[in-house]
Amino acid sequence: ACGSGGDSASGSGSGKLVLGFSQVGAESGWRTANTKDIQEAAKAAGVDLKFSDAQQKQENQIAAIRSFIKQKVDVIAFSPVVVTGWDAVLKEAKAADIPVVLTDRAVDSDASLYVTFLGSDFVEEGKKAGDWLVGEYKDAKEPVNIVQLEGTVGAAPAIDRKKGFEQAIAANPNLKVIASQSGDFTRAKGKEVMQALLKAHKDIDVLFAHNDDMGLGAMQAIQEAGLTPGKDIKIVTVDAVKDGMQALADGKFNFIVECNPLLGGQLMDTAKKVKAGETVAKRIVTVETVFDQAKAKEALPTRKY
Ligand code: GYE
């Protein structure tokens, strides 16, 4: 993989790096912050960004990648909506000698089909959420009933957060996941699924939502059911976007594991290195922290997204 070879991309002759980026969609606050950061970072780095929004559909992403190949961009980056089903299009990119950078989410294809995967360790995020619960309920003598709102079915963060969370809570057999359903990472779906869960289960102690947006939707459902979020039902989420942090500072959420959407700078650096033929690490992991209510209050005034 020695870069894009001969012709300069899109015939512009400007010498600017041309980066084709296929985004998942605009399903969450995390995603809109991620998009904004990538667009701003491209501008700052003098990269010609061809941005395409897939509206959470894999076929749209595949079509976008094929169009980037046709346009002979220098580098293709994308945030794969789901883990499976990418082999064919990744092989097409490879045959066209266009390097691919996975951004934010992973695929299950052979690692020779992409240059690097830049993003969070989602198993670790799930573990951090579970570890907090283990500490919070260390003296519990009775079962603690947990419901889980999973992200998009088949998406790396949904699969891995669930895995890490369930591994961590196994430390205390009192911690029980009594129901687990997808809310597709959206606020509307999170609310709808939580309404159904509240009807089916009268004894929910904890909600673990795979992102802030589903947690915020569920929070509304909990309030409308006459319960107090943060007290009657504790809420643990992932992301730490502004609205989530506000809910945490207000005592309606109890704990957030940060997932950093600001990948733009690293993506531009990586794309430039790849184009220049430099080797980059096969895995670039984002650095992240966690927030309780006190830390959220401190962080909110200077939070950028
Ligand atoms: O947590 C969620 C978004 O892939 C890490 O996707 C990302 C996830 C993020 O919709 O809010």
Query: Concatenated DSSP letters for 58-122?
Result: HHHHHHHHHHHHHTT-SEEEE--SSSSS-HHHHHHHHHTT--EEEESS--SS-GGG-SEEEE--H
Residue whose entry in the numeric block shows the structure tokens 């883990």: 83
Does residue 295 register a pLDDT over 50? Answer: yes
Per-residue pLDDT of 110-168, as tens digits, reads 999 999 999 999 999 999 999 999 999 999 889 999 999 999 999 999 999 999 999 99
Determine the residue of 34, 239, 243 to mutate for testing ligand 1's pocket, defined as the one with the most ligand atoms within 8 A of the Cβ atom.
239
pLDDT value of position 2: 40
* Amino acid at residue number 160: D
pLDDT value of position 301: 93
Ligand 1 atom with least separation from CA of 186: 10
CB of 303 closer than 8 Å to CB of 245: yes
State in Å: Cα 36 to ligand 1 middle.
14
The number of CA neighbours under 13 Å toward the Cβ of 103 is 31
Total-model pTM: 0.94
Beta bridge partners of 238: 257
In terms of Cα–Cα distance, which of 79, 25, 71, 65 is closest to 48?
Answer: 71
Compute φ and ψ for 251, nearest 5 degrees: 80, 10
* Residue 239 Cβ contacting ligand 1 at under 6 Å: yes
Residue 243, classified by CB atoms within 10 Å of its CB into exposed (0-12), middle (13-18) or buried (19+), is middle
ipTM confidence score: 0.98
Residue 163, classified by CB atoms within 10 Å of its CB into exposed (0-12), middle (13-18) or buried (19+), is middle
